[in-house]
Amino acid sequence: MVNPLLFWIIAALTVIPSLSLLFARKAVHVAMAIVLVMVGLAAAYVALGAPFLGVVQIVVYTGAVMMLFLFVLMLVGVDQREDLKETIKGQRWIGLLAAGGLGAFLVSVVARVALPVQEETVGEPDVIAEVLFQRYVLVIEVLGFLLITAAVGALVLTHAPRLKPRRTQLEVQRDRVRVGANPVNKPMPGVYARHNALDVPALDPEGQPIEDSVSRVLKIRHQTQDGAEFRAQLEDPARKDTEEGR
């Protein structure tokens, strides 16, 4: 028998984070919530007398699978926000109805089932190993093949063959000059050391901020400052004095 408190904790730990699948906008948040669900499930396994499986769950899901998800998320862009507005007509309501109906139906059916609970069989690693490598040894072999095939398949799928010869620096530079772009480096940002200089554009000799000097990424994130404040300081001798006086 399972401790009811443990059960309710596990239930809360799995159901609530898993709802983020439906409501969270950012994929990263979902992934982190699912990690929690996996941990909760591992706890459930341990509670159900399957400690080996609980450990495997932690290792495989939280340790490997979810990390893989996170890698892929990084690869395709963490910042992708999803618009939750439905585009297919009727998909949301029919989908909710079907999924909810399925859940409600299963719950109602299972709730009516009363099975006599047998003596607990604890799935210690040595017990599992005996079953796995005696009765199911052939399945293990086949699964080995499956994993190798999957690994090779993933390599093949993600391998991008080079279609054109690699461009050298010389070629890149020539192309840049040909189209009339600035042939030299962009100016460095942040002439004033008082701030985190990376987010402040440099000023040209006339005192105008040079927008190109700031990293594009920071601009997209709206984490830059426009530099007007510093120009004002330049033109205001009083403030300049206080600076000097310090």
Q: Hey, which residues between 105 and 124 contact another protein (CB under 8 A)?
A: 105-107, 109-111, 113-115, 117-121, 123
Among 9, 36, 55, 128, binds another protein (CB under 8 A): 128
Among 36, 43, 62, 158, binds another protein (CB under 8 A): 158
Radius of gyration of the chain (CA): 30
Q: In angstroms, rounded to a whole number, what is the distance separating the alpha carbons of residues 83 and 35?
A: 23
Q: How many beta carbons lie within 10 A of that of residue 99, not counting itself? A: 11
Q: Tell me: does residue 153 bind another protein (CB under 8 A).
A: yes
Among 9, 36, 55, 60, binds another protein (CB under 8 A): 60
**Beta carbon nearer to another protein, 91 or 173:** 91
Among 21, 137, 220, 232, binds another protein (CB under 8 A): 21
Among 74, 102, 188, 232, binds another protein (CB under 8 A): 102
Among 74, 78, 137, 151, binds another protein (CB under 8 A): 151
Q: Tell me: does residue 39 bind another protein (CB under 8 A).
A: no
Q: Tell me: does residue 38 bind another protein (CB under 8 A).
A: yes
Q: In angstroms, rounded to a whole number, what is the distance separating the alpha carbons of residues 36 and 22?
A: 16
Cβ atoms of 88 and 96 closer than 8 Å:
no
Q: From 144-152, 198-206, 211-219, 233-241, give the range in contact with another protein by CB under 8 A.
A: 144-152
Q: Tell me: does residue 220 bind another protein (CB under 8 A).
A: no
> Measured from the CB of residue 193, what is the shortest distance to another protein in angstroms?
40
Q: In angstroms, rounded to a whole number, what is the distance separating the alpha carbons of residues 132 and 124?
A: 12
- Quickly list H helices, the chain: 4-18, 20-23, 27-47, 51-57, 66-76, 91-111, 125-130, 137-158, 169-178, 216-220, 228-235, 237-245
What is the size of the binding site for another protein (CB under 8 A)? Answer: 90
Q: In angstroms, rounded to a whole number, what is the distance separating the alpha carbons of residues 54 and 57?
A: 5
Q: Which of 16, 37, 38, 20 has its CA nearest to residue 28?
A: 20
Q: Tell me: does residue 1 bind another protein (CB under 8 A).
A: yes
Site for another protein in 40-59 (CB under 8 A): 41, 44-45, 48-50, 52-53, 56-57
Q: From 155-163, 184-192, 198-206, 229-237, give the range in contact with another protein by CB under 8 A.
A: 155-163
Q: Which of 199, 205, 185 has its CA nearest to residue 229?
A: 199
Which residues make beta-bridge pairs with 202? 210
Angle made by CA atoms 100, 102, 106, in degrees to the nearest 5: 120
Among 9, 36, 55, 65, binds another protein (CB under 8 A): 65
Q: Tell me: does residue 168 bind another protein (CB under 8 A).
A: no
Q: In angstroms, rounded to a whole number, what is the distance separating the alpha carbons of residues 199 and 213?
A: 9
Amino acid in the structure at residue 22: L
